[in-house]
Chains A and B, each alone.
Chain A
């Protein structure tokens, strides 16, 4: 009633205009970017909001992305997948004498590693980063009730010797080839967090990263957190006590938009400037976007370390036979999938080792699409094709396998349907049965109630596959279903290779071991390798200097290299 009356009241055209002008002006002013300051601020869109900002509790990709701008870890793998020092001065090695192997009491070999914190490293409130922080972080990491996610690192360090305010030596109880990598040892500011740690069991609740996230003293990187709106965005501003080269941008906003279609719309409307590759669109979404809007943006595709594969449950009678597994992979035209669905940007994988990785061996057995050979192998294994295309064995069972993956993941669902159609052609009947991620990873995979499960392994450069291929890591009641060797791969040879690989310091000898590991994997096929996922970075034309890494260490660690070209 009131609406109709409004229109009747104003009557003339001029009156209408006057009524709407203020609203239109306001809307216009709010949406037009202010010309002068556009290039000093940057808005990044990601698909998930970090739940807590404490670097050591609850590992999350969104959190490491965001903290990459504000916290310096000691060591990381850079864009060339080399280990580099960020917070330390020199990377310790046996050659430069900063790392000294020692013989331990039980006959094993350990190592003492000395690090020096950068002299100019300071927390955002002016307090310098010192070994007091190192000792505090160690104390928190070792405490059983502090809810630190990855305590393996702290377990390995049996003690710390402090030489002065900036130099300390770690006593590590196992000599592995990546001894210098203490990437997960992210320092907590002792002068602020000690109060929160008074009751260790309450630390995860009292930590100032959640209670007071805008406190500048919590951050020692080029930027600090200046505003947090839970579920929506985080605002970063330059850290006044940062002594290194300053970042170009005066304000960086990270916005979380979970729905990818909405994320794209935000990009097109200018609400966000860029989409982070680490947490953005999937490749097929990005390719579709490129086709339509690619000219207005820079699109960078970076292959990464996320290994998409299909775990085969080796306890299922059909899959226990290696010939069947090999037939399965030969019946797949993975090249066609890569070319048509992914425009060739996600190359076919031969094993879980990425071609850019130092351990990669080009001699790994490669399977090409060969349906004739696949059919022959299946016949050999006792699965004969009947009329109607299905295969039966001597007992009369049909060759029917269930393929599972995370429900709601469109890319995986697409790939599944292609696989189903290809396998049907060689007489393997596939039933697709998808489950939500929490069901798949919470119950089905750990309890090994699947035939074939398609998902991804996330790894790091030269990451030894202990948890995924070692025989003691098969999830069962004895380890609380916590192992990741879901296919149930038991090979004494693989166990031996893994043990040898971890402690081999000579890079050339390691390469040989890696080659053997990959050859064994590709021959036995406990899982079917598909491809390595590529990250897509969609950047505005004026943004330069973004360096995608392709590994789990985000590009934001080098935020000071990012500039805007006018």
Chain B
């Protein structure tokens, strides 16, 4: 468990610290150099240059920042939203539960593509989003995070609902109710800690899924727009150059692979840890 966690932390630290460091050293991420394209590794460019002469290492780190931000933000937001929905549905039961379950079924079947195109085309200013935000470079990031959350909140909701159903019948919850505790208090203090374990595992696993989703969106042309780099766009762009400059595909591909597999292994190790603890308690 320590292994994957350390790897993840290392990737995160380097990705977030790298670009500011590079900027301080004077390496411009976006400096196009048409003369020095597709160069191999050198002292100036440790990983070589890409098809526009930009430093691959810096773009890789900046791309990591974007991909990791999207992954973590989407995973946390989906977990929060899903937990709320799952707690409410699981605890209240009855019609609330039925509606919630059918709603999640519907969302699972919802087509991603028209949703994303509509999101890409909406004029956010008409929706009341302040102009500064709507025109900033980060709006693309936010769009993708919103889409990822819409797609993955249902897993967390289902998990939490299931665990809530089991927990709410337990004695200590009944005791709390009979003592007059309000619903929010019960949800927060009694039920939530008991559903946390599978939730944490699912959230960790979904980080990897979101990073992969981002790369598929770039493949379809609906992802992060230039000049912002992400591992997904770097990988997609490197497809055509696969025979002439394979290293351009190797680095982002390897980073995606390492990050996702580290997240997955970490989540798996967490799950085993929780299972052992649960087994010990029962």
Query: Which residues of A approach B to under 8 Å, CB–CB?
Result: 259-261, 264, 281, 284-285, 288-289, 291-293, 336-337, 339-341, 407-410, 413-414, 416-418, 420-422, 431-436, 438-439, 443
Contact = CB atoms under 8 A, between A and B. Distances in A.
A423 to B, nearest CB: 11
Contacts of A417: 30, 32, 52, 226-227
Contacts of B280: none
B37 interface: yes
Contacts of B120: 407, 435-436, 439
B35 interface: yes
Given A288-B245, A337-B34, A340-B37, A432 B121 contact: no
Contacts, number: 79
Given A261-B239, A410-B237, A421-B30, A436 B222 contact: yes
Nearest to B51: A414
A45 B245 CA distance: 24
Given A292-B244, A417-B227, A436-B120, A408 B34 contact: no
B179 interface: no
9 contacts: A288-B241, A339-B34, A413-B226, A413-B237, A414-B51, A416-B226, A432-B226, A434-B225, A436-B221
B243 A293 contact: yes
Contacts of B241: 288
B117 interface: yes
B213 to A, nearest CB: 16
Contacts of B35: 340
Contacts of B110: none
A513 B35 CA distance: 40
Nearest to A282: B240
Given A336-B34, A408-B222, A420-B227, A436 B117 contact: yes
B34 A433 contact: no
Nearest to B35: A340
B224 to A, nearest CB: 10
Contacts of B31: 421
B227 A340 contact: no
A340 B243 CA distance: 19
A418 B52 contact: yes
A284 B243 CA distance: 13
Interface string B22-40: 0000000011101101000
Contacts of A339: 34
A289 B244 contact: yes
**Which A-B residue pairs are the 3 nearest by beta carbons?**
A408-B221, A421-B32, A340-B34
Contacts of A422: 32
B243 A289 contact: yes
A407 B221 contact: yes
A260 B239 CA distance: 9
B240 A264 contact: yes
A431 B134 CA distance: 13
Interface of B is mostly: loop
A418 B117 contact: no
Interface size grouping (class) on chain B: 20 to 34
B121 A435 contact: yes
Interface in B224-262: 225-227, 237, 239-245
B220 interface: yes
Contacts of A340: 34-35, 37
B34 A288 contact: no
B235 to A, nearest CB: 11
Contacts of B239: 259-261
Nearest to A449: B123
B110 to A, nearest CB: 19
A180 B137 CA distance: 53
Given A288-B240, A293-B243, A417-B52, A434 B226 contact: yes
B240 A261 contact: yes
Given A259-B239, A417-B30, A421-B32, 10 more contacts: A261-B242, A288-B243, A291-B244, A292-B244, A413-B237, A431-B135, A432-B225, A433-B225, A434-B225, A434-B226
Contact of B227 (A291, A432, A436, A443): A432
Contacts of B242: 261
Contacts of B221: 407-409, 436
A408 B116 CA distance: 14
B121 A443 contact: yes
Q: Which of B30, B51, B225 has the most CB of A within 10 A?
A: B225
Nearest to A442: B121
Contacts of A432: 225-227
Contacts of A292: 243-244
A421 B117 CA distance: 28
A432 B229 CA distance: 13
Contact of A264 (B32, B237, B243): B243
B237 to A, nearest CB: 6
A413 B30 CA distance: 13
Q: Which of A336, A341, A413, A420 has the most CB of B within 10 A?
A: A413
Interface in B205-219: none
Nearest to B30: A421
Contacts of B117: 436, 438-439
B232 to A, nearest CB: 12
B32 A418 contact: yes
B88 to A, nearest CB: 37
A449 to B, nearest CB: 9
A421 B35 CA distance: 14
Given A289-B243, A439-B121, A443-B121, A418 B34 contact: yes
Contacts of B243: 264, 288-289, 292-293
B130 to A, nearest CB: 17
Given A408-B220, A408-B221, A418-B52, A260 B240 contact: yes
Contacts of A289: 243-244
B276 to A, nearest CB: 27
Q: Which of B120, B222, B241, B242 has the most CB of A within 10 A?
A: B241
A20 B234 CA distance: 40
A434 B221 CA distance: 10
Nearest to A434: B225
B222 A407 contact: yes
B172 to A, nearest CB: 43
Interface string B111-143: 000000100110000000000000101000000
A410 B240 contact: yes
Contacts of B245: 288
B244 A288 contact: yes
Given A417-B52, A418-B52, A341 B121 contact: no
Nearest to A285: B240
A426 to B, nearest CB: 14
A73 B177 CA distance: 84
A431 B274 CA distance: 48
Contacts of A293: 243
B212 to A, nearest CB: 18
Nearest to A440: B121
Q: Which of B52, B117, B222, B245 has the most CB of A within 10 A?
A: B52
Contacts of A407: 120, 221-222, 225
Contacts of A431: 135, 137
B35 to A, nearest CB: 7
Nearest to B137: A431
B240 A341 contact: no
Contacts of A416: 226
Contacts of B51: 284, 414
A100 B241 CA distance: 56
A439 B225 CA distance: 15
Contacts of A436: 117, 120-121, 221-222
